[in-house]
Amino acid sequence: KGSTGLLLELVDVKRHFGGIKAVDGVSMQVQAGHVHGLIGPNGSGKSTLVNVISGLYAPSAGQLRLQGKELPKGSLFRVSKSGIARTFQNLQLFAELSSLENVMVASEGAYTKSLPLVLLGLANAEEKQAQADALALLDLVGLADDARTKAKDLPYGAQRFLEIARALARKPKLLILDEPAAGLAHPDVLNLVQIIRKINEQGITTILIEHHMHVVNEVCNFVTVLDEGKIIAQGLPDEVKRNPRVIEAYLGD
Ligand code: ADP
Ligand code: MG
């Protein structure tokens, strides 16, 4: 299901901070329909790279194209409009809103027409559809039974899954997850694997930054390995984890 072919293309992308070459000439391609793993030791530039892709940071150099079209640079808002959604390492939820409301206000429609209606609590056809869509996303992340629970009252793992549902509410072509398993207890890591699989079955392409190699092994179709801002290996998870350069980079971590 979903499209195939090239979705995202990066050509010689750089992001320097003063003398720190956080991302230093990355060229990579993300295929539509893939879960594309981005791994590498601490400080290797993974977050900086997805910060550039998602528009949080402007690149110092290089080209970024989504479906052949140049991506806006340095604007989260405009990149989001062009079809890329992301989660953050720090949670960005509305603590006092319910799970359902958190997903509803994250959707594209909410930003344009229906947000005033949602805020006024007016029940109309549009709001009902938005509710149904949001409920489907809560179900996908395993939170259907917590639709009315305030975000602040959810356990930590559930809050992280709610953040994924909010990103999906934007109906992205590309979803970026930056260490979604960080801080999760083992049962939730297993839940996360199932959620990523379901997202993939919906045909949504994902870039997954992940430290847990077993998660990468289970869900990624392809992996790019960064070290010191540069790509040191790419390929199938099984191939890259046996690559001597990759083993060496992780030993120094
Ligand atoms: P990773 O996500 O792989 O752990 P990061 O992309 O967070 O790595 O960091 C890569 C390098 O860039 C690190 O040396 C980090 O200290 C540096 N860096 C990241 N963001 C900034 C910033 N906003 N200002 C200065 N240096 C930064
Ligand atoms: Mg990081």
Distance 53 CA to ligand 1 centre (A): 15
Distance 45 CA to ligand 1 centre (A): 6
pLDDT attached to residue 125: 72
Q: Residue 114 — pLDDT band, cuts 50, 70, 90?
A: low
- Model pLDDT for residues 201-246, shown as the tens digit of each residue: 999 999 999 989 999 999 999 999 999 999 999 999 999 989 999 9
Q: How far apart are CA 224 and CA 152, in angstroms?
A: 35
* Secondary structure of residue 105 in the 3-state scheme: helix
Residue closest via CA to ligand 1's atom 23 equals: 17
**Residue 45, ligand 1, Cβ within 6 A:** yes
Coil, helix or strand for 196?
Answer: helix
* 156 Cβ inside 6 Å of ligand 1: no
pLDDT by residue (tens digit) across 147-198?
999 999 999 999 999 999 999 999 999 999 999 999 999 999 999 999 999 9
What pLDDT score does 129 carry? 84
55-65 pLDDT, tens digit per residue, is 999 999 999 99
Distance (Å) from CA 178 to ligand 2 centroid = 7
Which protein residue has the closest C-alpha to ligand 1 atom 20? 48
pLDDT digits (tens, 9 = 90+) for 69-89: 999 999 999 999 999 999 976
What per-residue confidence (pLDDT) applies to 111?
47
How much is the pTM?
Answer: 0.92
Interval 2-55: pLDDT, tens: 457 999 999 999 999 999 999 999 999 999 999 999 999 999 999 999 999 999
How do the domains of the chain map onto residue ranges? 1-83+172-253, 92-169
Angle at 118 between CA 116 and CA 120, to 5 degrees: 70
Spatial separation of the C-alpha atoms in residues 147 and 139, rounded to whole Å: 9
**DSSP assignment letter at 52:** H
CATH superfamily of 1-83+172-253: P-loop containing nucleotide triphosphate hydrolases (3.40.50.300)
* CB-ligand 1 contact for 20 (6 Å cutoff): yes
Q: Give the mutation target among 13, 15, 20, 50 for probing the ligand 1 site: most ligand atoms within 8 A of CB.
A: 20
